[in-house]
Structure 1
Amino acid sequence: MSNFLYNFGNQLSLFRLIFICLFLLNQGNAYASVVLSSILQQRDSVEVMTVVDSPPEFEGGMPAFYKYIGKNFKLPATCRESAISGKVFVEFIVSEEGEVLSPKIIKGLEMAYPLEDGRLHPAVKAYHEEMLRVFSHSPRWKPGTHEGVARNARMQLVVVVCLG
């Protein structure tokens, strides 16, 4: 019973903290947003390093990784009619086990192909989704190390798009 009360108390404390942060956020306080973000990251995540002694490596190096992308990227039908080109910046985490986790487009083709109503062009959306699929299914990498220990490491890569 005491374990239940302890867990309930922790959940209640977290709820109160989130409520306070949301209240402050509603008041226009940017600090509350940072605090809430920090709390949720600490609760849900593991340490991810952006600077390591030895960065993660794809077996065969970056030329092999770009070859993997070229071989596995299936051009979506909506992209075939559109001659799109540009650079896509992809951020992802290489885990301590070498898995590619949480890929996301940090800067894509949306600025080069905007629609008047602010929506994402269907070809650009399909291209981004396929790029994320390919990154998500990447073979394991050699993980990055810091002080001789394998670490989760954040990476950013640029993929040049030339479909014209």
Structure 2
Amino acid sequence: MLGSKIDLFGNEWLDVVFDQKNKNYGAYMLRRQSSSDTVKALFIAGTLFILLFLSPKIISLIKGSSSLDEHQETTRVVTVQAIPPVVEHKTPPPAAVVPPRAKVPNVKFTTPIVVDREVETDPVQIKDLVNATPGQKNIVGDPDGQVVVTGPTGDGPAKQAAVEDTKVYEFVTLEVQPAFPGGIAQFYAYLSKAIRFPEAAQEANVQGKVFVSFIIETDGKLTGIKVERKLGYGTDEEAIRVLKASPAWTPGIQNGRKVRVKYNIPISFSLGQ
């Protein structure tokens, strides 16, 4: 019996344990019905869990169908009114302006036409034009009238505002090129005296050239200073600082006027100087 497979939950083992004992005792009945009670409990718990898990889905379906029915029931018919016609307000034409009577009378001047028949009206004579001006018809002058000028009038080009030339010209295309006071040699002499070799470049033993460009304005000042090719270690900033402090140049001239000119130069940084 000890070597056989023992089923502690079987009714046979239960009868052996409670042999010659009061089987009406609560422990015997509880153990005998425990399997069926466990199955019932699992079934009830599983059913409740499924209902609890699916209840939100079921509620949403019920609400969705009811809201759909309400939406269908509350459909309204909207009547769109017709767009009123656009009333065009036509501006009346301006009233004809009657020009004032001229002080000098006009004499009708007819264009000479070569014909084979006798001319009905005599042409205008030179003496008639001494105290009158030619026109399309005869008009009697008014001594108190105004002098009427029929041609275009204006202040003329002498009083027109001068248009400033803001174009930036290249250095080689000018009639008169800009120049530093004393010449380009004096400009490089100014650079050699004004440049302070940066400490970072000295410690790194950096030497070379910084290529910069700038614009010489019509007043000779330098603007638009830009480093075209960098050297680093503070040399680029030092080149910009020296150019900003440069004295004014003599501006370039094109078509007799001062113009803006772009200039490119290399600035050398050497420890041997």
SS across alignment from 1:66: helix
- Cα shift readout 1:79-107 (whole Å, capped 9, x = no counterpart): 22122222221100000000011111111
What's 1:55 paired with?
Answer: 177
The CA distance in 2 between the partners of 1:47 and 1:125, in whole Å, is 35
AA at the equivalent of 1:133? R
Q: Give the letter aligned to residue 48 of structure 1.
A: V
SS where residue 234 of structure 2 aligns? helix
1:17 equivalent in structure 2 = none
Q: Contact (CA 8 Å) 2:210, 2:239: kept in 1 or not?
A: no
Name 1:136's counterpart in structure 2.
244
Q: Following the alignment from structure 2 to structure 1, what is the Cα–Cα distance between the partners of residues 247 and 177?
A: 16
Q: Which of the residues 65, 70, 93 maps onto 2:192?
A: 70
Report which of the two structures shows the higher radius of gyration computed on alpha carbons: 2
Q: C-alpha displacement at 1:125, in angstroms?
A: 4.2
Aligned partners of 2:214 and 2:222 also within 8 Å: yes
Q: How does 1:92-107 map to 2 (within 5 A)?
A: 92-107=214-229
- Structure 1, unmatched stretches of 5+, are 1-45, 110-123
Report the equivalent of 2:254.
146
Structure 1 outlier segments of 4+, above 2 Å: none
Greater share of strand residues, 1 or 2? 1
CA–CA separation in structure 1 for the residues paired with 2:226 and 2:178: 17
Asked if structure 2 preserves the Cα contact closer than 8 Å seen for 1:76 and 1:130, the reply is yes
Take 1:63 and 1:82, find their aligned partners in 2: how far apart are those partners?
A: 30
- Relative to the length of structure 2, the TM-score reads 0.37
Q: Which has the higher contact order (CA 8 A, sep 6+)?
A: 1
Q: How far has the Cα of 1:156 moved from its partner?
A: 0.4
> Is the partner of 1:92 in helix, strand or coil?
strand
CA distance in 2, matches of 1:53, 1:83: 43
Tell me, in whole angstroms, the C-alpha distance in 2 between the residues paired with 1:160 and 1:64. Answer: 15
Give TM-score, length-normalised by structure 1: 0.60
Q: What is the identity, as a one-letter code, of the residue corresponding to 2:260? A: N
Look up the equivalent residue of 2:263 and give its one-letter code: M
The answer for the alignment partner of 1:84 in structure 2 is: 206
Q: How many correspondences in the alignment?
A: 106
Give the structure 2 partner of residue 117 of structure 1: none
2:9 counterpart residue number = none
Kept in 2, the 8 Å contact 1:92–1:100? The answer is yes
Determine which structure has the larger helix proportion and give its number.
1
What code does the residue aligned with 2:169 have? M
Is contact 1:89–1:107 with CA below 8 Å preserved after alignment? Answer: yes
